């Protein structure tokens, strides 16, 4: 009985660790060879630009269930927008922001069973999240902010840009 309780305690401890952000996503070193499927002024920020990349599995688009297959990796390069002389966000002739310095690299990766560690409000199917500095070092951000913003998008496999992968 005691051994059983110990096992439960260890298991519970393990899932807390995972939920607390025990890193499972490695920096995708080769992401620049992924498909750059979309680049845009960030919709939720007024001074950033994002370039989105998908590995081969993700770039092939959703499967019949409407979601991306396991093994999908999506990468968002987040740039600061360039500023004009007045310190305002500069606009190109197209009325779009202009990419400045690379600020961070946001990653989503989907693997069988990865979502099981999370409560419903933080669960994004089997996706998990990570964020890295431009040189690939893991940044110590609260990944639950990522999870809670993407989690409500149940009809699009928790992705904002899935329609651009078809």
The radius of gyration of the chain's CA atoms, rounded to the nearest angstrom, is 18
Stretch that binds ligand HEC, among 26-34, 80-88, 110-118, 142-150 (CB under 6 A): 142-150
Which residue is it, tokens 């809670």? Answer: 148
Least spacing, CB of residue 4 vs ligand HEC, in Å? 38
Measured from the CB of residue 83, what is the shortest distance to ligand HEC in angstroms? 19
Give the number of C-alpha atoms closer than 13 A to the C-alpha of residue 28, restricted to the C-beta side: 25
Angle (CA) 116 120 125, round 5° = 55
The label of the residue with tokens 């070092």 reads 137
Nearest approach, Cβ of residue 5 and ligand HEC (Å): 36
Among residues 74, 81, 117, 151, the one that binds ligand HEC under rule CB under 6 A: 74
From 145, 152, 154, 163, residue interacting with ligand HEC (rule: CB under 6 A): 145
Pair of tokens at residue 18: 């995972």
Query: Which window, 6-14, 64-72, 88-96, 154-162, contacts ligand HEC (CB under 6 A)?
Result: 154-162
| Residue 6 tokens, joined | 């110990």
73 binds ligand HEC (CB under 6 A): no
Among 13, 44, 87, 95, binds ligand HEC (CB under 6 A): 44
> What is the rounded distance in angstroms from the CA atom of residue 115 to the CA atom of residue 110?
9
Question: Cα(113)–Cα(99) distance, rounded to whole angstroms?
Answer: 36
- Which of 139, 54, 150 shows the shortest CA–CA distance to 102? 139
Residue 70 engages ligand HEC in binding (rule: CB under 6 A): no
Binding site for ligand HEC (CB under 6 A): 42-44, 50, 52, 74, 76, 106-108, 129, 131, 141, 143, 145-146, 149-150, 159-161
């Amino acid at each position: 009985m005691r051994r059983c309780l110990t096992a439960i305690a260890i298991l519970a401890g393990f899932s807390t660790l995972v939920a607390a952000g025990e890193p499972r996503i490695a920096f995708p070193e080769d992401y620049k060879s992924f498909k750059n499927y979309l680049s845009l002024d960030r919709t939720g920020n007024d001074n950033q630009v994002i370039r989105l990349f998908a590995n081969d599995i993700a770039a092939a688009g959703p499967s019949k269930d409407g979601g991306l297959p396991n093994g999908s990796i999506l990468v968002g390069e987040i740039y600061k927008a360039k500023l004009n002389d007045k310190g305002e966000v500069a606009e190109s002739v197209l009325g779009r922001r202009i990419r400045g310095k690379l600020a961070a690299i946001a990653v989503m990766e989907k693997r069988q069973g990865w979502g099981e560690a999370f409560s419903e409000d933080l669960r994004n199917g089997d996706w998990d999240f990570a964020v890295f500095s431009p040189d690939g070092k893991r940044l110590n951000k609260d990944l639950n902010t990522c999870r809670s913003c993407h989690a409500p998008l149940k009809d699009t496999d928790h992705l904002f840009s899935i329609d651009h992968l078809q």
